[in-house]
């Protein structure tokens, strides 16, 4: 990510929207946590990769089932 887009936390000029910078920064943080966890707990490391992929998907427009469910449960009153 860094060679292609620069440091997202430093405000790289190649990122045109602030939300892209935020998502790319969150992705980089998840990848850093993955590097720390991969030797200790494989399940926690895999979760960090999932979070990193999700942040990239928010930039590229990829929306998964989990994203839709998050919006439904956050924005709508279900079961009341």
Name the CA dihedral angle for 65, 69, 71, 76, rounded to a multiple of 10 degrees.
Answer: 150
* pTM of the predicted protein model: 0.61
With b for 16 or more beta-carbon neighbours within 10 A and e for fewer, the 26-57 pattern comes to: bbbbbeebbeebeeeeeeebeebeebbebbbb
pLDDT in tens, 66-79: 777 777 777 776 65
Question: Is 51 part of a structural domain of the chain?
Answer: yes
Domain that holds residue 22: 15-77
Q: What is the predicted pLDDT for the residue at 14?
A: 56
Q: What is the predicted pLDDT for the residue at 11?
A: 55
What's the structural domain count of the chain?
1
Question: Is 5 part of a structural domain of the chain?
Answer: no
List Cβ neighbours of 9 (8 Å cut-off, separation of 6 or more).
21, 25, 28
pLDDT in tens, 8-51: 566 554 556 788 888 889 999 999 999 998 889 888 889 999 89
């Amino acid at each position: 990510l860094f060679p292609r887009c620069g440091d997202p936390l430093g405000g790289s000029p190649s990122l045109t929207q602030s939300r892209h910078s935020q998502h790319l920064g969150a992705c980089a943080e998840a990848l850093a946590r993955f590097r720390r966890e991969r030797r200790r707990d494989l399940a926690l490391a895999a979760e960090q990769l999932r979070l990193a992929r999700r942040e990239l998907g928010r930039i590229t427009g990829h929306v998964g089932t989990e994203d839709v469910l998050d919006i439904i449960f956050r924005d709508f009153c279900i079961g009341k």
